[in-house]
Structure 1
Amino acid sequence: METRTETVTVADGSFDMHLWLPEGGSGPVVLLIQEIYGVGPYIRKVAGDLAALGYVVGAPDLFWRLRRNWVSDHGETGTAASLELASGFDLPQGVSDSAIALAHLRALPEARDGAGVVGFCLGGSVGYLLAATAEVDAVASFYGSAVPEATGMMEKITAPLLFVFGGSDPYIPRDQVAIVEQAAAGRPNVEMHVAEKAGHAFHNHEAPQFYDPEAAPVAWERAVEFLRRHLG
């Protein structure tokens, strides 16, 4: 699998976007948006999985204004450091950076057909908000904590959306997930997948404290099928 690093230029600077190419060399693009731990082993593994399915995958460094190419472990110390760094993250600016990164991906010579977004945790929030402002063909948002308080944005989104949540997430309580379910009800472009027994970040196989070996593959297959339907 070929990989390289692209440079994405914005008004006040530039940042890295790590790129994974499928075996065929080209395909639909997927913008993969990081969690608070950065573009680390987990995000890189997900990127490789998506590229193996035939997608051109780009994972931008969204913390570049705070700490370039930030990567931390998922232990107690790494989590505390990541949370502290993320507290200084400008969410609207991150959405803007992601839109420019997506446009960069679309313009690559390897890009063809559709363009999708997959985001985890912080990236799940960014991906959802991005869908309201950018042209995108599908968005899979995993446990984005900003989603429940921003359900009104669904009025602006016509692209297919898949929301994935853990029903036992201490950071996004079940009543907050229910708010998203209520907002999604009756919208033909919105799908919900709630793993009732799973907690936060349950797909993250690099974090034993979060990973749920039963719920993770089910949710991932749902996301893969969603992308296949809308991106090819």
Structure 2
Amino acid sequence: MKNTVRQLLKTEFKPESEQKPQLPAQAYKLYDKYAHGMLSRRDFFSAMAGLAVNAALAATFINSMLPNYALAQQVSFNDDDITASYQKFTSPQGYGEGRGYLVKPKHLTAATSTVLVIHENRGLNPYIEDVARRLAKAGFIAFAPDALWPLGGYPGNDDEGRTMQSSLQPEKIVADLKAAATWLKQLDGGNGKLGVVGFCFGGSMTGRLAAELPEAVNAAVPFYGAPPAADSIVDIKAPMLIQLAELDERVNQQWPAAEALFKQHSLNYKIEIYPASHHGFHNDSTARYNKAMADLAWQRTLAFFKQHLS
């Protein structure tokens, strides 16, 4: 009896922040569509009702998926080993001017590699800034541009950021990211080698920059992003480490055809698929975070950049 009571205490009275609604796997697919602008909030709730999930539980679920950026800070902005600042760059083919978050190791004794960090489809949020700090802590110069800078920058919440980003011209966003890559590769203190890492939208952009800036990009690590356009894959020169989540059907189904072209053109690439992981598993501010797989993916990312950017 004592064991039964103890088990109930452990399972029935968890803090609200630790509770995770028990939902069908399809619910995560619906949220993925909502998060990427494929479903309105109204349509998301209608689809959840179709799964026999009541409105209260659907609301609890969608709220649990919203980011808690206090959880995402692994490296403090005032860490003694780094220096961080916001820097602007020119982008004649894009929106004219861009801005991003630049983080450097504080005690550099020699030129080091640079890494461009490309955010998701909602602007330069605190999670992406922390990723830049993690890279600097590991010895790289990291720069994370904010695609929303033409509209004033990341607004402070992801839903509004997603709406803002969808209002911008895609080709101008790409031009701004290319300008940021060129600016970073030439930055004082850099060794002339440029890596690119990105997540979701940023993962797609990572592959695109590798294809469209083959002379600039020296290594690329896309996390759960769509592959580059088929006719551009032949132009890729950089080695690529492609990080995918096992349960991310929407993105994963796009990769077999792309991989066939990677093989056809003898590209230097590796695809890693992380078990029991959803799209966004590296983002430690959301309920989709898978710590074990995120840590493994990050270790591989750092090792990959150190191998190819030295």
* Residue 168, structure 1, aligned to residue 247, structure 2: yes
* Residue 68, structure 1, aligned to residue 152, structure 2: yes
Q: Distance between the aligned counterparts of 1:45 and 1:199, measured in 2? A: 21
Question: What's 1:95 paired with?
Answer: 174
Q: Distance between the aligned counterparts of 1:179 and 1:211, measured in 2? A: 28
1:143 counterpart letter in structure 2:
Y
Match of 1:35 among 104, 112, 120: 120
Q: Distance between the aligned counterparts of 2:250 and 2:148, measured in 1? A: 21
1:167 counterpart letter in structure 2:
E
User: Offset at 1:188?
Assistant: 4.1
User: Offset at 1:93?
Assistant: 2.1
Question: What's 2:96 paired with?
Answer: 13
Q: Distance between the aligned counterparts of 1:180 and 1:163, measured in 2? A: 12
Aligned to 1:132, what secondary structure does the other structure show? helix
Match of 1:206 among 281, 285, 297: 285
Match of 2:255 among 172, 177, 185: 177
Instruction: Identify, as 1 or 2, the structure richer in helix.
Output: 2
Whether the aligned pair in 2 keeps the contact of 1:33 and 1:118 (CA below 8 Å) is yes
Question: What's 1:59 paired with?
Answer: 144
2:187 counterpart letter in structure 1:
L
Unmatched runs of 5 consecutive residues or more in structure 2: 1-81
Whether the aligned pair in 2 keeps the contact of 1:137 and 1:230 (CA below 8 Å) is yes
Highest CA radius of gyration, 1 or 2?
Answer: 2
Question: What's 2:191 paired with?
Answer: 112
User: Offset at 1:71?
Assistant: 4.3
Q: Distance between the aligned counterparts of 2:306 and 2:121, measured in 1? A: 27
Question: What's 1:2 paired with?
Answer: 83
Whether the aligned pair in 2 keeps the contact of 1:143 and 1:165 (CA below 8 Å) is yes
Question: What's 1:47 paired with?
Answer: 132
User: Offset at 1:52?
Assistant: 0.9
Question: What's 2:16 paired with?
Answer: none
Question: What's 2:56 paired with?
Answer: none
Q: Deviations over 1:94-126 (max 9, x none)?
A: 222112111211222221241111111111111
Instruction: Identify, as 1 or 2, the structure richer in strand.
Output: 1
Q: Distance between the aligned counterparts of 2:170 and 2:107, measured in 1? A: 35
Whether the aligned pair in 2 keeps the contact of 1:31 and 1:116 (CA below 8 Å) is yes
Whether the aligned pair in 2 keeps the contact of 1:115 and 1:137 (CA below 8 Å) is yes
User: Offset at 1:13?
Assistant: 2.4
Q: Indicate the larger mover: 133-142 or 88-97.
A: 88-97
User: Offset at 1:83?
Assistant: 3.3
Aligned to 2:198, what secondary structure does the other structure show? strand
Cα RMSD after superposing both structures: 2.0
Q: Distance between the aligned counterparts of 1:132 and 1:166, measured in 2? A: 23
Q: Distance between the aligned counterparts of 2:300 and 2:135, measured in 1? A: 13
Whether the aligned pair in 2 keeps the contact of 1:34 and 1:119 (CA below 8 Å) is yes
Q: Distance between the aligned counterparts of 1:180 and 1:165, measured in 2? A: 14
Whether the aligned pair in 1 keeps the contact of 2:101 and 2:143 (CA below 8 Å) is yes
Question: What's 1:122 paired with?
Answer: 201
Q: Distance between the aligned counterparts of 2:231 and 2:170, measured in 1? A: 17
User: Offset at 1:183?
Assistant: 3.3
C-alpha spacing 1:121/1:215, structure 2 compared with 1 (3 Å): same
Q: Indicate the larger mover: 53-62 or 8-17.
A: 8-17
Q: Distance between the aligned counterparts of 2:127 and 2:240, measured in 1? A: 23
Whether the aligned pair in 2 keeps the contact of 1:37 and 1:71 (CA below 8 Å) is no
TM-score (norm 1): 0.87
**Identity, % of aligned positions:** 30
Whether the aligned pair in 1 keeps the contact of 2:91 and 2:176 (CA below 8 Å) is yes
C-alpha spacing 1:88/1:171, structure 2 compared with 1 (3 Å): farther
User: Offset at 1:34?
Assistant: 1.2
User: Offset at 1:64?
Assistant: 2.2
Q: Distance between the aligned counterparts of 1:82 and 1:171, measured in 2? A: 22
Q: Indicate the larger mover: 22-31 or 157-166.
A: 22-31
Q: Distance between the aligned counterparts of 1:120 and 1:221, measured in 2? A: 16
